[in-house]
């Protein structure tokens, strides 16, 4: 269906080719997952499929890319629109109209399809993606997962035979991501559509993938093979695969079920070593006073009760993971701690004062909040500009924010516009701006959206370092792996109430929803991360 | 994710979103000459040739008929081959914004910000793009505001030249660039008003007043009459318009230029596509 023959591509300003000598064939009805680190050339590879590379980007391409027998050399992207549908990272960026139905019809209007056919295809697509209840809703009122499904529907109405998706879930929370991936597997299995998907969130995709393409970057040759083969050596891998490598399981298991079947010897071996330490919480003497205290905190938006009688204390050195489903009150709790809104009932105190009483300039030195959409903090024209503004507004010495950025993520492109950054880079920038005034309480709302494994790892390191330095960190997250790695305490919210609050290991291990992959594989023993298992085995090595 | 090479901040002042190839350039020059004649004929008409004078009443209508055809030819030639999807997208969006800018203009004291977007766009995206954008913006705004009439092709020409001129300005950076653009905005808005008066003058001022067009009366006499006409009828409108447009560029020019440059960088207009 898709055939790359000796394809080499170089961007106009680059010295080295981004893709070098690529030979790749993707057959009809395959779900092919493209993995690789940020900047390795995944996007370039995907965009070459429908000719956006080089027709849109410019640059030099040799070799041949054929889709359904048509070469991108002779067919510009617009003449491949009936064969290849492309969906990007941020669905809202691709919307042209305001209403779901209109958006679905828009592509067909451009292709000049007869109204009766259009009508039928809109209906088909609504059913296929389960959007019929949303048909007349304005796009702006949809959740992220719904928006992304509409974006997929909008390209499906042209009835393409290939669907290319570039990190379609990286701007979504896990529930929404699952929704989108479920729709995709349905398209592959029910319609035999060919799907090429670049993805960071591998733990959810790999059980469904037929084949995997690893883009190592720097123009190195692609690694192509079955998912298990590629995962055995891939530098980006979900925890389950890392555990498999550590334990030497072959073939590499791709789901928790497969891994559990292989895990018996490992479990028995681990039973001989001491169970992991309860929690790496630093015990400071004397026990420090809490930095943030919420007492009987209730917040209502009209009829809706977002928080209901929440009691919470956060002490220096703690990393508190606030978990719970969408709408359980996680973001509202962070907003309260950050003083964005007065509580309806109860009190919030940060360092002995209600944050809503503090003038903004003092508040940002006490509480730092990184919102879910990090771009909301960014309105400068370049990264450097953004850093300078932050220094100025907080009264810091010029260069402080830039220096902080260098520790968070070295080598940021300072001349870029914030919107041209990747999700990870944008988060790093927002984080640097928030952290520069050194607030003792740092709040992060869903900070791992769109981060690849190395960026996530760097974030974990940074949070650990901050906690060790005595900062308090509250992270609202769906990402159980993040919670497993950094949290000392976990608080689970449901319907605005705290349903469990305790040492992170106890809380997450005993929940089927919040347990990380390693814990699920090694249950009932309370192991959380691959690193723990690795160091335990190293200590127990004969 | 953006390709890693979109990198370095913009150093160039202008790209060519619509490339003017030789044939298009010649056509544009010839058409502009005819357009100029359409505006200036009352001043240039030769007094002693009675055959010329006989046509002085129907000449404006001839130009009204011919200019749209010429404009169509030029726009068609520009669109042929060198207008890609990216340029069309930008053109559509900017023309829509420009047309929308015309809606709030109450016409009071000359507040008419329609040229404000055109000038930074011509500056950043090049003179070919500026020319097309000027023409398309006026056409689109005429559709919205009900401004379709014999004056429309002349307005389109005026705005097209304004956009073209913005793309021809000398290189400058930072504050100097803003001042340059603001100055150009003011002067060109004034010129635009004067040019359209010139078109309107032969039949707008009647034949009997002291500033009426007198066919065959010679350049000096008619120029004098025209200046009188211009000053008395519309300068009170044109000068505030020139000032507001210049001021708008000064105040909002920086973010608009930055946004346009970012769009043009991402669209990679100047980057050639090569197949080996």
What is the tens place of the pLDDT at every residue in B200-216? 777 666 666 666 777 66
Q: Is the pLDDT of residue B104 over 80?
A: no
* Same domain membership, residue A321 and residue A216: no
CB contact under 8 Å between A54 and B273, yes or no, is yes
Higher pLDDT, A90 or B51: A90
Q: Are residues A187 and A297 in the same domain?
A: no
Asked if A349 and A301 count as a contact pair (C-beta separation under 8 A), the reply is no
Co-location of A298 and A228 in the same domain: no
Q: Burial letters for A406-440: b for 16+ Cβ neighbours within 10 Å, e otherwise? A: eebbeebbeebbbebbbbbbbbbbbbbbbbbbbbb
SS3 assignment, position A98? coil
Whether A227 maps to a domain, the answer reads yes
User: Is some CB atom of chain B closer than 8 A to the CB atom of A57?
Assistant: yes
Residues A231, A306 share a domain: no
pLDDT value for B4: 40
Residue among A6, A8, A13 with most chain B CBs within 10 A, to mutate: A13
Residue B268 and residue A56: Cβ atoms within 8 Å?
yes
- Same-domain pairing of A228 and A298: no
> Do the Cβ atoms of B213 and B225 come closer than 8 Å?
yes
Chain A neighbors of B8, CB-CB under 8 A: 13, 415
B63 vs A129, which has greater pLDDT? A129
What pLDDT, on a 0 to 100 scale, did the predictor assign at position B11?
A: 43
**Interchain pair A12, B5: CB under 8 A:** yes
Nearest CA of chain B to the CA of A61: how many Å?
5
- Domain containing A224: what range? 2-237
pTM: 0.80
CB within 8 Å of A403: residues ≥ 6 apart: none
Could you tell me the CATH number of the domain that includes residue A364? 3.40.50.300
Does residue A379 form part of some domain? yes
pLDDT score at B8:
40
Looking at the structure, do residues A365 and A463 belong to the same domain, yes or no?
Answer: yes
Report yes or no on A259 lying in a domain.
no
- Catalogue all structural domains in chain B, each as residue range(s) with its CATH number: 17-267 (1.10.1760.20)
Residue B6 in this model has a pLDDT that exceeds 50 = no
Instruction: State whether A329 and A437 are in the same domain.
Output: yes
User: Taking CB atoms and an 8 Å cutoff, what residues of chain B touch A18?
Assistant: 3-4
- Report yes or no on A24 lying in a domain: yes
Whether residues B274 and A42 touch (CB distance < 8 A) is answered with no
Sign of the dihedral defined by the CA atoms of residues B56, B57, B58, B64, in that order: positive
Across the interface, do A12 and B272 touch by the CB < 8 Å criterion?
yes
**Has residue A371 been placed in a domain?**
yes
- Looking at the fold, whether A214 and A305 belong to one and the same domain comes out as no
Which two tokens mark A541?
A: 């090595």
Verify that A109 and A181 share a domain, yes or no. yes
A78/B268 Cβ within 8 A = no
Say if A529 falls within a structural domain: no
| Inter-chain touch A416–B7, beta carbons under 8 Å | yes
Rg (CA), chain A: 25
Residue with the two structure tokens 């009760």: A305
Verify whether the Cβ–Cβ distance B268 to A58 is below 8 Å: yes
Q: What is the pLDDT of residue A541?
A: 54
As a whole number of angstroms, the distance between CA A277 and CA A251 comes to 31
Residues in chain A with CB shorter than 8 Å from the CB of B258 are: 381
Tell me the two tokens of residue A316: 């220096």
Note whether A227 and A297 are same-domain residues.
no
- For residues A58 and A150, membership in a common domain is answered with yes
Q: Quick one: tokens of A149? A: 């499904």
Q: In this structure, are A314 and A213 located in the same domain? A: no
Contact B145, B112 (CB under 8 A): no
Neighbours of A41 (CB within 10 A): 27
User: Is B85 in contact with A78 (Cβ distance < 8 A)?
Assistant: yes
Q: Locate all alpha helices (DSSP H) within A112-238, ordered by sequence.
A: 115-128, 144-156, 174-191, 202-205, 227-233
Q: Which of A157-161, B71-75, B106-110, B116-120 has the lowest mean pLDDT?
A: B106-110
Answer yes or no: is A345 within a domain. yes
Question: If chain A, 542 residues long, is cut into consecutive pieces of 10 residues, what is the mean pLDDT of each piece?
Answer: 93 86 92 87 91 89 93 90 88 89 92 93 91 91 86 92 89 77 89 90 84 87 91 88 90 90 90 69 64 91 88 91 86 91 90 88 89 83 90 88 87 85 84 90 87 84 89 90 90 91 87 86 87 83 50
**How far is Cα of residue A526 from the mean position of the Cα atoms in its chain?**
26
Residues from chain A contacting residue B276 (CB–CB below 8 Å): 8, 60-62
What is the mean pLDDT of the segment spanning B226-255? 85
The residue behind tokens 């990264």 is A383
Residues of A (68-127) whose Cβ lies below 8 Å from B:
73, 77-78, 89
Sign for the pseudo-dihedral over CA of A81, A82, A84, A86 = positive
Using an 8 Å CB-CB cutoff, list residues of chain B that contact chain A.
Answer: 1-9, 85-86, 255, 258, 262, 266-268, 270-276
Contact A52, A78 (CB under 8 A): no
Is 70 exceeded by the pLDDT of residue B110? no
Calculate Rg over the CA atoms of chain B. 20
User: What are the angstrom distances between the C-alpha of A487 and each of A279, A444, A463, A474, A484?
Assistant: 9, 12, 9, 9, 6
**DSSP strand pairing (A472-476 vs A319-323):** parallel
- Under DSSP, the state recorded for A21 is E
pLDDT at position B14 over 80: no
Please report which confidence band the pLDDT of residue B148 belongs to, taking 50, 70 and 90 as the band edges: confident
Q: Does A417 touch chain B (CB under 8 A)?
A: yes
Closest-CA distance, A276 to chain B, in angstroms, reads: 39
Residue A417 to chain B, least CA–CA distance (Å): 8
pLDDT (0 to 100) of residue A278: 54
- Long-range (24+ apart) CB contacts under 8 A made by A371-376 are A371/A430, A371/A445, A372/A331, A372/A445, A372/A446, A372/A449, A374/A423, A374/A426, A374/A427, A374/A429, A374/A430, A374/A431, A375/A418, A375/A419, A375/A426, A375/A430
Question: How many residue pairs from chains A and B have C-beta atoms closer than 8 A?
Answer: 73
Model confidence at B2, pLDDT cuts 50, 70, 90, reads: very low
Q: Which residues contact A260 (CB under 8 A, 6 or more apart)?
A: A520, A521
> Are B1 and A61 in contact (CB < 8 Å)?
no
Nearest to A61 by CA among A4, A119, A129: A4
**Other beta carbons less than 10 A from residue A136's beta carbon:** 9
How many domains, chain A? Answer: 2
Domain assignment present for residue A31? The answer is yes
pLDDT of amino acid B82: 66
Q: Calculate mean pLDDT across residues B56-68.
A: 73
Residue A243, both tokens: 């555990």
């Amino acid at each position: 269906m898709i055939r790359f023959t000796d394809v080499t591509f170089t961007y106009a300003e680059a010295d080295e080719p981004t893709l070098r000598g690529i030979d790749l064939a993707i057959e009809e009805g395959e779900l092919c997952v493209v993995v690789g680190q940020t900047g390795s050339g995944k996007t370039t590879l995907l965009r070459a499929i429908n000719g956006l590379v080089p027709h849109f980007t410019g640059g030099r391409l040799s070799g041949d890319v054929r889709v359904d027998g048509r070469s991108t050399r002779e067919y510009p992207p617009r003449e491949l629109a009936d064969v290849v549908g492309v969906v990007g990272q941020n669905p809202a960026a691709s919307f042209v109209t305001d209403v779901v139905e209109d958006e679905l019809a828009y592509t067909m209007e451009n292709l000049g399809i007869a109204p009766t056919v259009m009508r039928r295809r809109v209906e088909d697509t609504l059913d296929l993606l389960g959007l019929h209840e949303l048909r007349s809703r304005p796009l702006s009122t949809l959740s992220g997962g719904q928006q992304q499904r509409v974006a997929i529907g909008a390209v499906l109405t042209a009835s393409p035979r290939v669907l290319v998706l570039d990190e379609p879930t990286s701007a979504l929370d896990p529930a929404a991501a699952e929704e989108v991936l479920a729709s995709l597997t349905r398209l592959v299995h029910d319609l035999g559509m060919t799907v090429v998907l670049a993805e960071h969130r591998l733990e959810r995709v790999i059980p469904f993938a037929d084949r995997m393409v690893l883009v190592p970057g720097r123009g190195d040759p692609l690694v192509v093979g079955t998912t298990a083969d590629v995962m055995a050596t891939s530098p980006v891998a979900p925890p389950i695969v890392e555990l498999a490598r550590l334990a030497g399981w072959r073939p590499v298991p791709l789901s928790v079920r497969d891994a559990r079947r292989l895990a018996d010897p490992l479990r028995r071996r681990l039973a001989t070593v001491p169970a992991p330490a309860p929690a790496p919480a630093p015990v400071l003497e004397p026990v420090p006073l809490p930095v943030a205290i919420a007492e009987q905190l209730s917040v209502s938006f009209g009829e809706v009760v977002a928080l209901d009688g929440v009691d919470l204390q956060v002490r220096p050195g703690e990393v508190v993971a606030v978990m719970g489903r969408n709408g359980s009150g996680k973001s509202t709790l962070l907003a309260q701690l950050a003083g964005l809104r007065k509580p309806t009932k109860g009190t919030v105190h940060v360092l002995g004062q209600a944050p809503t009483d503090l003038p903004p300039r003092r508040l940002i030195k006490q509480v730092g909040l990184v919102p879910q959409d990090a771009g909301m903090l960014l309105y400068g024209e370049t990264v450097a500009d953004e850093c300078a503004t932050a220094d100025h507004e907080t009264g810091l010495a010029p260069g402080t924010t830039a220096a902080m950025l260098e520790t968070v993520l070295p080598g940021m492109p300072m001349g870029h516009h914030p919107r041209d950054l990747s999700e990870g880079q944008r988060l790093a920038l927002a984080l640097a701006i928030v952290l520069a005034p050194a607030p003792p309480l740092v709040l992060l709302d869903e900070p791992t959206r769109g981060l690849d494994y190395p960026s996530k790892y760097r974030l974990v390191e940074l949070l650990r370092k901050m906690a060790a330095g005595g900062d308090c960190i509250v992270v609202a997250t769906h990402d159980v792996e993040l919670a497993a790695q950094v949290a000392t305490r976990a608080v689970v919210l449901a319907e605005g109430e705290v349903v469990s609050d305790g040492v992170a290991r106890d809380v997450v291990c005993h929940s089927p929803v919040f347990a990380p992959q390693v814990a699920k594989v090694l249950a009932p023993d309370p192991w959380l991360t691959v690193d723990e298992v690795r160091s335990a085995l190293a200590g127990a090595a004969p | 994710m953006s390709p890693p090479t979109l990198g370095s901040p913009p150093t160039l002042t202008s790209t060519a979103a619509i490339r003017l190839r030789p044939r298009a350039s010649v056509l544009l020059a010839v058409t502009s000459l005819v357009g100029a004649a359409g505006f200036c004929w009352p001043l240039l008409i030769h007094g002693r040739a009675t055959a010329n004078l006989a046509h002085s009443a129907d000449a404006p209508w001839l130009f009204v008929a011919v200019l749209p055809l010429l404009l169509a030819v030029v726009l068609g030639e520009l669109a042929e081959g060198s207008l890609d999807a990216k340029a069309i997208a930008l053109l559509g969006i900017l023309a829509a914004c420009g047309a929308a800018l015309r809606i709030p203009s109450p016409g009071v004291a000359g507040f008419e910000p329609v040229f404000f977007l055109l000038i930074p766009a011509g500056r950043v995206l090049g003179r070919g793009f500026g020319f097309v954008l000027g023409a398309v913006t006026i056409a689109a705004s005429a559709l919205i505001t009900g401004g379709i009439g014999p004056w429309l092709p002349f307005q389109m020409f005026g705005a097209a030249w304004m956009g073209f001129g913005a793309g021809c300005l000398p290189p400058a950076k930072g504050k100097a660039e803003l001042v340059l653009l603001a100055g150009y905005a003011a002067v060109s808005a004034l010129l635009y008003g004067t040019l359209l008066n010139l078109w309107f003058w032969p039949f707008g001022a009647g034949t009997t007043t002291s500033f009426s067009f007198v066919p065959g009366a010679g350049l000096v006499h008619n120029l004098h009459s025209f200046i009188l006409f211009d000053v008395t009828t519309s300068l009170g409108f044109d000068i505030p318009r020139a000032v507001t447009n210049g001021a708008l560029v000064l105040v909002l020019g920086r973010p608009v230029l930055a946004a346009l440059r970012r769009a043009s960088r991402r669209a990679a207009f100047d980057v050639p596509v090569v197949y080996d």
